[in-house]
Structure 1
Amino acid sequence: MDNTRVNTTSVSLISDLKEITKMRLAISVVFSSVAGYFLGADSIDFLTVVMLAVGGYCLVGASNAYNQIIEKDLDLLMDRTRNRPVPSGRMTVNTAFFIASSLTILGLVILYMINPRTAMFGALSIFLYVSVYTPLKTKTPLSVFAGAFPGAIPFMLGWVAATGSFGIEPGTLFMIQFFWQFPHFWALGWWLYDDYEKGGFFMLPTGKKDKGTAIQIVLYTLWTILVSLIPAFGMTGKLYLTPLSAGLVLILGLGMLFYALQLYRKRDNASAKKLMLASVSYITLLQIIYVLDKLIRVWI
């Protein structure tokens, strides 16, 4: 009986740790960082890859934990968040803060061991997410703009981890993920509008599910596609994309644009959900194409 209780407690603790760090989101962010590393590295150091993945997960997990501490009362108001560890009462604020603080220190130390610039951008990311984006979510739709900065850092962070420097290449990776976040989060905000409204969050640019929001989603989708194709024109230093890969990225972008136009035409939750899922597929497949394009050119 005691062993059963211990096992149940252990499983519950692991489950809460996964939830407070938002494991799936954190893994997707780590994926972006690792993709950026492969793009920037002349030779692959797998120890650095592991350190980047672990350090990155720690910082993303810490950001999410701080976020859930700050928003614990608001999370109680929303259906999708009320069962999180802190608002549900399964985890105390002090415990959550200890986890967040420990992950912050561990993450920054690991990233510093890669190189100081990587740790600096990691620290900037967690500061902007927790101290700027999170408080603004209940104040203004501009919170999405503020959140796009820390959200765009992971892709470029990998390049900085590989090279120890910042230039046009990581800057381009930053811009790709920066513009992508607007159609992604606005589609999410449209789909979950009623739930966000319960918590008092302002996620849509006009504050409403209207034509103005739909138009901006289409425009930022176009910007995302254009920025994603810039490396094909040889203007971004060592970051280059072959015409074939650029064509594949364009096809992905047109697919995402199709769903953005569907949302503009129908303006319903189903279309918003499809666009949100399409945007996740777009950024993931784009990063895979970028990496494979480089690896194939190196091998050939």
Structure 2
Amino acid sequence: MKLSDFIKLIKLRLTFLVVFSASISFLIGSMANTKTGGVINWKHWGMLIVGGFLVTAAANCFNEIIEKDYDRLMKRTMDRPIPAGRMTTGQALVLGLFMAIFGTYLLGSLNLTTGFLSVFSILLYAFAYTPLKRVSSIAVFVGAIPGALPPLIGYVAGYGTIDQIALVLFAIQFVWQFTHFWAIAWVLDDDYKLAGFRLLPTGKRDFTSALVTFVITIFLVPVSWLPTYYHFGGYYVGVVSLICSLLFLYQSFTLLRTLEVKSAKQLMYGSFLYLPVVQLMFLFDFIGKGK
């Protein structure tokens, strides 16, 4: 198997973003852990990165096995190794199971909650969200749950349990997922229709889909302020998060006003920037306070 095929199989860019989100949250959880004096265990951080990478790669692998027939129909996916015939489903399944088992073992070694959450994320993404994509736009809601689990998993790996900070990190990424999903779905709607995927709120590029996207982005504004509201994030992170959310909201409003693919593409790129900026500001705020 060529490296390029492996990269396509595991959706490397998506996997990298997931691992980045989890690793930042691990550092936050470690610094918030008073039992360890806020000391970061770098060995555990490495285990989280490797385990998170393998679990995410496995989920993407199972996703491509299930969608192999539909991937052949879309221009952006027809060159993936399974639909292109460079890899059999059996080979992909063995690889996926190996990554899932070893990745879950690594994450479960950190603590059982982290391990259980990783298994749950694989099952929900591969076997609930994936088949629902051709049934209803409710798939976006289902997909937003495993999509928002990485920061929760990372935080619990560092802190040991789920607390208020963990839930806030989950909430920010959960709400963000909707705008992120729908921006991508708007840009790729023509390709998605070839495979019968229904991801936009109304199933098509129209005012209502743009309006729903705009409304859900409004919710991101108060959600992004939660760390400051609950006093585990300072005003610095609150102001930066608020500015990012308002800029993100403006991009969403631009899509509502123009209904153009160009505006959706700008919103999509904005979503890629929004999350790491907000998460990094949260981390820097913890570092600055010496927590």
Fold match (TM-score > 0.5):
yes
Deviations 1:173-200 (A, max 9, x none): 1111100000111010001100000010
Pairing 1:15–2:15 present: no
1:190 corresponding residue in structure 2: 186
Contact 2:44 2:110 in 1 (8 A): yes
Counterpart mapping for 1:1-300 below 5 A: 13-41=2-30, 42-234=38-230, 240-298=232-290
Partner of 1:6: none
Task: Indicate the SS of the match to 1:86.
Answer: coil
The superposition leaves residues 78-116 of structure 1 with CA deviations (integer Å, 9 ceiling, x where unpaired) of 000000000000111111111100000010110011111
Aligned to 1:125, what secondary structure does the other structure show? helix
Taking the aligned partners of 1:226 and 1:241, their CA distance within structure 2 comes to 14
Work out the CA distance in 2 between the residues paired with 1:144 and 1:261.
20
Deviations 1:30-78 (A, max 9, x none): 0100111111112111101110000000011001010101000100000
Cα distance between partner residues in 1 of 2:169 and 2:14: 19
Counterpart of 1:261, as a letter, is F
Provide the rounded CA distance (Å) in 2 between the counterparts of 1:205 and 1:294: 37
- Which residue type is aligned with residue 16 of structure 1? D
Contact persistence 2:178–2:213 (CA under 8 A): yes
Partner Cα separation in structure 1 for residue 242 and residue 159 of structure 2:
28
TM-score, normalised with respect to structure 1: 0.93
For residues 225 and 19 of structure 1, the distance between their equivalents in structure 2, rounded to whole angstroms, comes to 34
Number of equivalences: 284
- The secondary structure found in structure 1 opposite 2:290 is helix
CA deviation map 1:121-180 (0-9, x unaligned): 000000100111001000000000000010110011111001221122211111111000
Residue of structure 1 equivalent to 2:34: none
Aligned-residue RMSD, C-alpha: 1.0
Percent identity over the alignment is 38
- Partner secondary structure for residue 85 of structure 1: coil
Name the aligned partner's letter for residue 113 of structure 2. R
**Could you tell me how far 1:214 is from its partner in structure 2?**
0.8
Structure 1's unaligned 5+ residue stretches are 1-11
Task: Give the superposition deviation at 1:228.
Answer: 1.3
